[in-house]
Chain A
């Protein structure tokens, strides 16, 4: 017993072991380490070999891209012409043909704003103002009727711009509403609490479809003679009200994850309720629930396609209309693959955004 001899010199010379085994080594370590894993790898490889080459042949080698429907019918591969030849209708619906630059411009504006909002380093007051101006400009472009722009009735809006409008406005309005409902549900004031609970439970108890039907068929019955509210607006409100209830429940989960100590520390500093929520609790609670919130928002994005049942020509319905045209009958696979791809791109960017946001807001990590 006593002082333990330490060979400092030898320790100082030590290096971490070099691990570099090359591709074969990696395969062995990761894909063929054990019987079960090897079988899984082989089955998966067989599956890939069976399906991928035929798909590539169909989609790219034998496919036609800019032909008429009749040519397509002779062709063994994919008929992408159904998409490309009808692209303008699929994207813009019944919007007047010679005015397509207007919804195009509106979407360009929207994508630009979304792109800048995607990167946290661009977040600033200016971006907020840009959004406000951008939204007004988009509205003017779509609707027209001022400046020299010919008015376009909103019943003619359709396709991708309609889907984008319903989604972006729907999510952007549902999120803050959901947060307010979640706070209401945890409120100390009984009236506010019961109203919030009632609202959330009622909305969660019915499917979105029924809300859409109500907004388009039942709700107008209660309006006085001669008053009409735009159908898109009604659908939009239904989507917002629906999504908000789900956001509220997710956010409530986040609020429950907050420790009492955070509230107490804020109280002890003399912050009032609104300051405590805005500066201390919500920034943390909302961050915890980024992944589930994004799941809710992604579902809501996809659910906007349900507006087809009240005959709004969103992106899905314009696509469907094309393949019902006799010339393009029989090419629904190609069309729906295209639609799926577009939805996938939307959802995938949202997932990416969620992951990026989570990393950027992560301050708990030790560095």
Chain B
């Protein structure tokens, strides 16, 4: 099972509509264990929708999504299992404001994984050390800066010991000086071998960690390549146009 060439996520001919609006069009995607993929593309192209389908925050209508050997269907049990294996980090952190940082981190392990409280707290402290905010453990999210909150959100996902991490524009709601502290944590995570799918326009990050970079536009994946060729020598005109837009 730990064969790194074995795909952990398989998306086959995925289609999704919002009413009449075709958001995802025949998406095919395979992610190998420990692989890092960065998805970029213009606003409204369906990037968020795609990764949200992978942990069933959105339902797809056609095609198949298989995560770690389990196909996503309406089976609630399967959905819950997949959600424990797939961590997600949101653009707006979505920490639970009524719980302390420590309680935010232990909530999932205690209630979903049924970990004993003490052990869950030890794990939580371990990951808080890792994202370098252990001293904030007893504060509430509202008392932290955006960058700190996003690092807590990453730690919260990690506490569930996921096999895959999804990131939906994790730095785009942050002030510029906080972007680096979050990216540093993500780079570290990738070095430790986490499988990651990241929606992001941070080119520096993509170049450092990604094996593949993809461009999504109008619900389709139009180009995919290794980061060097993707950024230095884009093939598709949409990619060229998009890159010229974000570089100015």
Q: Which residues of A contact B (CB under 8 A)?
A: 259, 261-262, 264-272, 275, 279-280, 283-284, 287, 361, 363-367
Contact = CB atoms under 8 A, between A and B. Distances in A.
B94 A275 contact: no
Given A268-B90, A270-B112, 5 more contacts: A264-B57, A265-B94, A268-B87, A272-B76, A284-B98
Interface in B51-98: 55-57, 76, 80-81, 83-84, 86-88, 90, 92, 94-98
Contacts of B90: 261, 264-265, 268
B152 to A, nearest CB: 12
Contacts of B143: 366-367
A257 B214 CA distance: 36
B111 A271 contact: yes
Contact of B97 (A279, A284, A367): A284
B88 A268 contact: yes
B87 A283 contact: no
B84 A270 contact: yes
A146 B110 CA distance: 45
Interface in B15-59: 55-57
B140 interface: yes
14 contacts: A261-B92, A262-B96, A265-B95, A266-B96, A268-B86, A268-B87, A268-B157, A269-B84, A269-B108, A270-B80, A270-B112, A275-B112, A283-B98, A366-B142
A291 B74 CA distance: 40
Nearest to A261: B94
A36 B80 CA distance: 64
Contact of A364 (B56, B76, B81, B97): B97
Nearest to A275: B111
Interface of B: 55-57, 76, 80-81, 83-84, 86-88, 90, 92, 94-99, 107-108, 111-112, 140, 142-143, 156-157, 160
Contact of A270 (B83, B99, B140, B156): B83
Contacts of A271: 107-108, 111-112
Contacts of B94: 259, 261-262, 264-265
Give the residue among A259, A270, A271, A287 with the most B Cβ atoms within 10 A.
A270
Contacts of B55: 267-268
Contact of A268 (B81, B83, B140): B83
List 6 A-B pairs, minimum CB-CB distance, nearest first. Answer: A265-B94, A269-B108, A261-B94, A270-B83, A268-B88, A270-B84
Contacts of B97: 284, 363-364
A160 to B, nearest CB: 37
Contact of B140 (A262, A280, A363): A363
A280 B99 CA distance: 9
A243 B118 CA distance: 41
Contact of B111 (A262, A279, A364, A365): A279
A283 B99 CA distance: 10
A267 B57 contact: yes
Contacts of A283: 98
A279 B84 CA distance: 17
B112 A265 contact: no
A366 B139 CA distance: 10
Contacts of B92: 261
A294 to B, nearest CB: 19
B47 to A, nearest CB: 16
A189 to B, nearest CB: 13
Contacts of A361: 98
Contact of B107 (A262, A272, A279, A287): A279
Contacts of B157: 268-269
B72 to A, nearest CB: 13
Contacts of A265: 88, 90, 94-96
Contacts of A365: 142
A265 B98 CA distance: 14
B98 A287 contact: yes
Contacts of B140: 363-364
A268 B57 contact: yes
Nearest to B159: A269
Contacts of B57: 264, 267-268
A258 to B, nearest CB: 11
Contacts of A367: 143
A367 B55 CA distance: 36
A187 to B, nearest CB: 15
B51 to A, nearest CB: 11
Nearest to A363: B140
Contacts of A363: 97-99, 140, 142
B96 A280 contact: yes
A361 B76 CA distance: 34
Contact of A269 (B56, B83, B99): B83
